[in-house]
Amino acid sequence: METKPAWEKYDEAQLAELEDVCRGYVEFISKNKTEREFAKAAIELAEQSGYVDLFKAFEQGNALKPGDKVYAQTHGKAVIFTQIGSDPLVNGFNILGAHIDSPRLDLKQNPLFERNGLVHLDTHYYGGIKHYQWVTLPLALHGVVAKKDGTVVAVNVGEDAGDPVFCVSDLLIHLAKDQMQKKGAEVVAGEDLDVLVGSRPMVLDDDDAKKDDAEKSELQKLAAKEPVKAYALELLAQKYGMEEADFLSAEIEVVPAGPARELGFDRSMILGYGQDDSACAYPSLLAQLALSETPKRSAMTVLVDKEEIGSVGATGMASQFFENVVAVILELAGVGGDINLRRALAASSMLSSDVSAGFDPAHASVFEPKNAAYLGHGLVFNKYTGARGKSGSNDASAEYVARIRRIMDDANVSFQTAELGKVDAGGGGTIAYLPAKFGMDVIDSGVAVLSMHAPWEVTSKADIYEAYKGYVAFLQDAEASSRVPLV
């Protein structure tokens, strides 16, 4: 079954709304490139829409009633937004789930080193990347430095027009004969993704140079051996009040520098970093905040960390953060307890919102055209993901797929179905299988992306808009599953 470009159905008013949604999206993902930044900005927007801190409400013993809006966050990297509906909570929630981490380079705990007059930061890549795509790009540093005295300093260098940028250098083509014979996975080794950050040495004046070692500062002593590193540390001390040992308790991510941009003569696409999974997370957040009236079924948006490395840790979907938040909501609504928690989770319905591989005619051989996602054709549903034999996937039921079709058609949302490439070409996973363990209905949905996991990814404005519309329609849908979730 062929789908049509969503562009063909828009009138002037819809095109204006599309541009408004995508303008906000471009601005948001340009400013918020890490999970910490995304979560913080999302909470700020939610508070402007009347959301309050769930855990504070719990501490104060405030009861929840239909229409109330609450959020909960953990470690500043994962956040859940909920609007209480008029139906009993044990009837379940309509849930949007997406991740807010993206592939990148992370600084190692002991990263700074000088070598032959150049200073670098040593990195360990995060998530699935092609190493060679990260060389010779302007890069920025985002993150935090936590000090022993308890203060936490935010770091953001490389985004403002007056900021310096950083890069990973590459071998010049004139000397690359041996390098060019290597396989793509070996052209640039992961251990060689060192970020170039300085070349200027610290120069001591005559008085300082003449001092005994006992009289010199630690940086002045270091300048005798590693003068460029010493100068870099001096600049870090001046700007952030940090010393080298503070890297041990820092989380600094290396990401492409610069804002997302409109792509194409027709400005129909968006080129930006981190669209896996901001292209789903932002429309999900927008849809949650767009609910102006009390929904019949409680509406929830779950934005989590660590999907790119298996959803592990305290901020990933595999943690108990999601389950704990639902438990607190039920308690404050007067229907707490383990059985009610299990009933509510099993009765819930979820869109696991993650991006899908857009059909790329430049690499058509790895796609199966009639089961591929196409840019501009609307929201993508993947009944299953996984790899080779559906391994590791959630496989949505036929009945749930039928319900989703009805919701999207009723709301005039353009949508398509897809697989992640040919059966034996590769594969991938999402967070879907984790909430599915509670017995709820889950299906993967999202936006088609070209150059997924590259420093700069491509999406269609039409797909961002249709995702937003589809997510609103899903959250507003009052129909619960017809099956009995728990006896």
Q: Which of 244-258, 306-320, 423-437 has the lowest mean pLDDT?
A: 423-437
Could you give the residue range(s) of every CATH 2.30.250.10 domain in the chain? Answer: 104-256
CA distance 403 to 396: 11
Query: Which of these, 255, 35, 252, lies nearest to 134 by C-alpha position?
Result: 255
pLDDT at 337 over 90: yes
Query: What pLDDT score does 374 carry?
Result: 96
Looking at residue 484, its pLDDT comes to: 46
The residue whose two tokens read 């949302």 is: 413
pLDDT at 481: 52
Predicted confidence (pLDDT) per residue in 343-369, tens digit? 999 999 999 999 999 999 999 999 999
Q: At what angle do helices 338-347 and 321-332 cross, to 10 degrees?
A: 110
User: What pLDDT shows up at residue 487?
Assistant: 42
Categorize the per-residue pLDDT at 381 as very low, low, confident or very high, splitting at 50, 70 and 90.
Answer: very high
pLDDT at 480 over 60: no
- How many angstroms separate the first and last alpha carbons of the chain? 39
Q: What percentage of the chain has pLDDT greater than the value 70?
A: 96
Which residues, at least 6 apart from 396, have a Cβ–Cβ distance to it below 8 Å? 383, 384, 441, 442, 443, 444
Q: So what CATH class is 6-102+273-476? A: alpha beta
Average pLDDT estimate for 429-453: 93
- pLDDT (tens digit, 9 = 90+) per residue, 26-74? 999 999 999 999 999 999 999 999 999 999 999 999 999 999 999 999 9
> 143 near 251, Cβ under 8 Å?
yes
CATH 3.40.630.10 positions along the chain are 6-102+273-476
pLDDT for 486 beyond 80? no
CA proximity to 255, closest of 356, 112, 155, 145: 155
- Looking at residue 208, its pLDDT comes to 66
CB contact at 8 A, 322 and 54: no
Domain at 104-256: CATH code: 2.30.250.10
The pLDDT assigned to 420 comes to 83
Give the model confidence (pLDDT) of 182-199 as tens digits. 999 999 999 999 999 999
Question: Could you give the CA distance from residue 241 to residue 250 in angstroms, rounded to a whole number?
Answer: 13
CB atoms within 10 A of CB 67: 14
pLDDT tier for residue 393 given thresholds of 50, 70 and 90? confident
- pLDDT of 210 > 70? The answer is no
Dihedral sign (CA 467, 471, 473, 474): positive
110-168 tens-digit pLDDT: 999 999 999 999 999 999 999 999 999 999 999 999 999 999 999 999 999 999 999 99
